[in-house]
Amino acid sequence: METRDETSAGGLVVSGMAEAVNPENNKVDMSQIYVALIGRLDRRRRLLWSMPKGHVEDGEHQWRTAEREVWEETGITGEAFDTLGTIDYWFVSDGVRIHKTVHHNLLRYVDGILNDEDPEVTEVAWVPMSELIERLAYADERKLARVAYDKMPNLARAEAEAGRATPR
């Protein structure tokens, strides 16, 4: 059977990091940090939530791919600033065995309003970081969501210390 490698990139656009830090005690309220997710219908018409992602173009850095794909699938402009991890898996499509590698990143919200204009996307939503892990449909993405959740308090404090506020 013919085998082919494919590479994609995407990730989580994060909004509200600095604002979630309590200036009095430096604690981070994870329910005040939001991430953008996409929902797609599966063959059984169930809505499955996942991180936006897509194909890396020739010569394109995976952070640029993540920024482009997030914009295409959500309408949100994000700036990649950290990595979450990589998922790889195998599947067969049209008689070709495909090894897929997907790089996931964290992106800082820059601008935009959520929309589901991409024909591959059924719904888009801002989801509180505190609900992210249980919202995601795929186990590998839930593992990466745990990484994001664990990193977020320190990242949020760094955003607050740098004086960055989420654009409104």
pTM across the whole model: 0.92
Is residue 167 a part of any domain in this protein?
Answer: no
Q: What is the pLDDT of residues 115-166, one digit of tens each?
A: 878 888 999 999 999 999 999 999 999 999 999 999 999 999 999 999 998 8
Upper half-sphere CA count for residue 16 (Cβ side, 13 Å): 16
Q: Print the domain residue range for 15.
A: 3-162
DSSP three-state, residue 39: strand
Greatest alpha-carbon pair distance for the chain in Å reads 61
Is residue 168 a part of any domain in this protein?
Answer: no
Cα→Cα distances 158→67, 137, 151, Å? 21, 30, 11
CA–CA gap between residue 143 and residue 139 (Å, rounded): 6
Is residue 13 a part of any domain in this protein?
Answer: yes
Residue written as token pair 């404090």: 157
The enclosing domain of 69 has a CATH number of: 3.90.79.10
Q: What is the pLDDT of residues 50-105, one digit of tens each?
A: 999 999 999 999 999 999 999 999 999 999 999 999 999 999 999 999 999 999 99
Total domain count, the chain: 1
